[in-house]
Structure 1
Amino acid sequence: MATHHKADQPTLRSLTKRQWIRIASVVAVVGLVVAGGAATRSIYSHANAAPTAEPTAYSISDAHAASRGNARDALEGEPTYVNVTINGKTRTVLGTNFTDVKSVLDAGDITLESGDTVEPSLKTKVDESTTITISRAGAKMETEESKIPFNTVKKETSSLPKGTEKVETEGQEGILEKTNLVERSGDKIISSNTFASWVKKAPVEKVILVGTAEQQPQTTTDTSNNSSSSNSNANNNAQSASNNVGTTAPVGEMQQWAHDYLLANGGTEADFTATVYIISHESGWSVSATNPGSGAYGLPQALPGSKMASHGADWATNYQTQLKWFWDYCKSRYGSVQGAYSFWQANHWY
């Protein structure tokens, strides 16, 4: 059957040049709308995708306690991380402006020896999907444990008569576990490099309560009405004792220096007590303590350790440099080291 058109219905051939321009404009606008919708859909699908896991700095003494917050937030500049595996053990190296494999090893203070094989090569560019593998022939990972001494803390309390003392908590030594890359020749150790160390068990400080209450004369009056008041006072005294930071006796060279330095620079015995507690739990007073999961380093578990370079080029080995950075960090973030101590008590990280 033939097709018939109305007289006023235009055909493609009958369209004017202006009509063609209008049609082309409409098509172009529709195309932009479609393309924009596709681009928008792409953006939202990317935003709603499962987020990439970001490394978190953990307190070296507790696998569930974040230390120094999120690892990325702890870094200045554009942060990134790369995993390095040495003879089967993996460690995370955090830093900024990683360019190639060599820059990662430098940031992680990982020294290569002759005979080591590295994959990929030192000049290979890296990103967060890169895993650097190092093999050292004739060497293996060995684990050793050492004891962390406990401190004795004396806390004043009005719940005991003046001149008397009572042991509230018995002290217990902690355990520091180290993983070393060891090369041996028979029974002789040729080289040993610490790959990671962490507080396997935090020390428990010995707490001694020191009485401050003056002796009250006994009376024959009926005290039955004062029983609730006495109980209330006892509870208040106990609470006061628990909130008292106390005085800590230094143990070892590092703690003695920290004690003397603080007191010589306006600090208090309470500041020293707070310092000992945090450092004992974070690193066990190991200058080279290295968290394999986050890369946190040193006495204060700075993240990354190179942040302590602001207080000295010897930040990796000098406990004095590390402690000075620690105190400044606590002051800037918590107002004081006692502020950091209070936060640690509540959150088990700082």
Structure 2
Amino acid sequence: MSGRHAAPGPADRVPIAPAAIPGNSSAPWESTEVLPAVSPHRAARKKLANYAGKAAVAASVALVASIGIVNADVSDASEQAAPAASNLAYLDLRTESLSSRGTDRDVINEDRVIVSIEADGETIEQSLGGGTVGDVLAAAGIVVGPDDIVSEQLNSPLVDGQQITIQRVDGDIVTEEIVDAHESTTVKSDSLYKGEKKVTTAGVDGHAVHTYRVVMVDGEEVSREVLAEVVTQERVDEVITEGTKERPRAVAASTNSSSSGATSSGPVMSGSNREIGQTLAANRGWTGEQWTCLDALWKRESNWNHLAQNRSSGAYGIPQALPGSKMGSVASDWRTNPATQITWGLNYISGRYGTPCGAWSHSQSRGWY
């Protein structure tokens, strides 16, 4: 042997098996590692770089063997590099798979359902990867009350582009006071003369308290149910009586002649003393308040009795003339004829007080007139 080392023969060759590269086997390369769920592209690139380096080492070994430093020829080097190249091809496919997996995620995002929700005066859009109307309302943080109205069933499946409306329903108990205004009716009666009217029944408004259950939808009243009605004051309708009776007519005074001289008598009128008085007063325009004053005055003096006589003073008749003979200025039948007495009394009131109310006021303050 010379000083130079002989190149190793075929028997001395050391084959570089695919298993010499970590993670490889004699069968086509398969990775038993589970790629991380997060950043799959980064993991794939890391794997690719690792095995690219291993493939470079194998290629270097093949190159050295080709120049005789290692007992291997070019064909052997190619055989040694084949597993690494195969691994690189697998990694390319793996990377493409991971990339397509990311694309699948984008597709899933595109498949999310987007719905429009209108509630509480606002409209929002909410997306969800399927589910029901109730699910999307929960995801949006919208609470549906037991009486609220939802445009869709809560358990119905979502539809992309769906519009969901929620109407808020509130209930309240309301109490109100109700006023029932009285009405007025007029009845005819012969208890009063024609032209006279009198309120025989005073009108009173009715009062009641009503309790309601009021239902509001989105702030607007949609229904009102009466729960209770309590009457606190019954309504009373006003009744006005209007007279139909004809007023009595005065009979002209008669003159009786006798040998002793002529005497006159006052008018003869039908009706009660009070009715005769009302008629004669009305002839002077004393109705309404003036008649009320005259009626009160002569009720106090004589209670409309044409035979009334004051035992102490001698005042006589309906107007209580003092002395009674004063009434003879009207007619000589002043003792027995109410019309004569009333005529004299009206003349006296007119001349001294102006009106019956003037006489009545004086009588109230002084006790006489």
Do Structure 1 and Structure 2 share a fold, with TM-score over 0.5? no
Bigger Rg over Cα? 2
Higher RCO structure, 1 or 2 (CA under 8 Å, sep 6+): 1
TM-score by length of 2: 0.28
